[in-house]
Every structure is written in C-alpha cells, then in structure tokens.
A and B are shown apart, each in its own frame.
Chain A
C-alpha cells in the first residue's frame, strides 16, 4: 500500500528552467493538493483538485500549473523557475469526507533554484 508517492525527492534547477513534480496516489482519493513548505511559514496551498479533470488555484498559484487527467496522478509544473520557488513541495490526498480521515501526505520534493 504505497499511499502518496512523489518524485523526485531532490532537484536543483537553474533560473529559467522548467520541471514537473510528479504525484501519484493509489487510494482512489477524490481530492488532491499541492502545498509548499517554507521555514517558519507552515504550508501554503498552491493548487488543488476535487476529481479527475477538475483543478483550481490555491493561495499561491503564480508560477505553477497542474493537470489531473486521472484520479491517481496530479503533476505540478514549474515554468521559468525562480529563486523564490526554492522550497519543499508536498502532495496530499484525501477522501471526499476528509474530515474523518484527514490528509495523506507524500514524502516531499526538495527543490532548489539557483
């Protein structure tokens, strides 16, 4: 039972480069989320999805894009990487009735933009 799997675990990007952070869950969860974690700032929501084909912006979406073509996958795309995007990125998923189960988090992707 893998849960939420994120790849890669670490990545260094140069300013202006692009990359895709992968997220896959095998729990048939409806809802999926992308958060970024900055020191002393908690976690901020970037994008979320309530089901395949449906995505929407969170609190800090600028510089990112997402897609949700299947229930399992929710990749996060960074275009034109900037130093401000240096962060740890977490993908999470939940059932529709998440209040009873909370979120399941992936182990994170640590991204450095230089």
Chain B
C-alpha cells in the first residue's frame, strides 16, 4: 500500500525565514504526490503536485516542493515565511485502489511568528 510520513508534528519559524515541511513516501511504481493546506475551520486547499518532470515543483502562495527519488522525499519549501502561512499542511500520495484515492500523512502544523 502507498503511504506518506510527515515526521514533524509542528514546525516553528520566524517570519521572513525560509521554511521546510518534510514528507517522505513509500510507493510501488511512480509516485503522484501532493501538498494541501488547511486553515482553521476550512477545507483542504490544493498547493501543488508532482506527477513527472522537473524535480522542483512550484505551487500556490509562493510554495515549492522538491521531489527526491533517491531519498523518497517530497519536502515543501518557501524562501520567506509569512505569518499568514500558519496552518496545517498535509502531504498526500495517490493510491490506485479505492478509485484513485489520496493517502494523507498525519499533517504538520506550521507556526510562523512575527
């Protein structure tokens, strides 16, 4: 079965500093990887995806993610964090079972302090 792991429950970063939210994956075959963000009392919003091609994927709100096949990682990054980036972030991978469902990690809380 496909799976993703987010090793950090929470990441704290100062505003203006770079941020990284970590994700590792375990899949059979080529991975289809996603990042979603959830703001309080809201649904999940799509940030970016990796299907194929360049290992550096650019997404919404200035976020990017680096796909690393040898390390089976798909870390989310942003060069300069904003307080408004504070939210819950989910990494996900496609599983071809269950109608192409997404398998989600447990989530990482990002806190950006001014």
Q: Which residues of chain B are within 8 angstroms of A103 by Cβ–Cβ distance?
A: 44, 46, 102
Contact status B107-A59, CB under 8 Å: no
Q: Which of B12-20, B72-80, B93-101 forms part of the interface with chain A?
A: B93-101
Q: Which of A11-19, A74-82, A104-112 forms part of the interface with chain B?
A: A104-112
Contact status B42-A56, CB under 8 Å: no
A100 to B32, CA, bound (A): 10
- Select one of B44, B51, B99 contacting A56, CB under 8 A: B99
Contact status B101-A108, CB under 8 Å: no
Contact status A99-B105, CB under 8 Å: no
Q: Using known A-B contacts A48-B101, A56-B98, A59-B98, determine if residue A4 contacts B34 with beta carbons closer than 8 Å.
A: no
Write the chain A residue with the least CB distance to B107: A42
Q: Which residues of chain B are within 8 angstroms of A48 by Cβ–Cβ distance?
A: 98-99, 101
| B57: Cβ under 8 A from any A Cβ | no
Chain A min CB distance to B4 (Å): 9
1/0 per residue, CB under 8 A from A, across B28-71: the answer is 00001010100001111110010100000000000000000000
- Select one of A33, A105, A106 contacting B101, CB under 8 A: A33
A94 to B100, CA, bound (A): 10
How many chain A residues touch B (CB < 8 A): the figure is 27
| A63: Cβ under 8 A from any B Cβ | no
Contact status A98-B106, CB under 8 Å: no
Contact status B42-A108, CB under 8 Å: yes
1/0 per residue, CB under 8 A from B, across A28-52: the answer is 0001010000001111010011100
Chain B min CB distance to A35 (Å): 8
Q: List 12 A-B contacts (CB under 8 A).
A: A4-B43, A31-B99, A40-B9, A42-B106, A43-B44, A43-B102, A43-B104, A48-B99, A92-B44, A99-B49, A99-B100, A102-B46
Given contacts A42-B105, A43-B44, A108-B42, 5 further A-B contacts (CB under 8 A): A33-B99, A40-B106, A50-B99, A99-B49, A99-B94
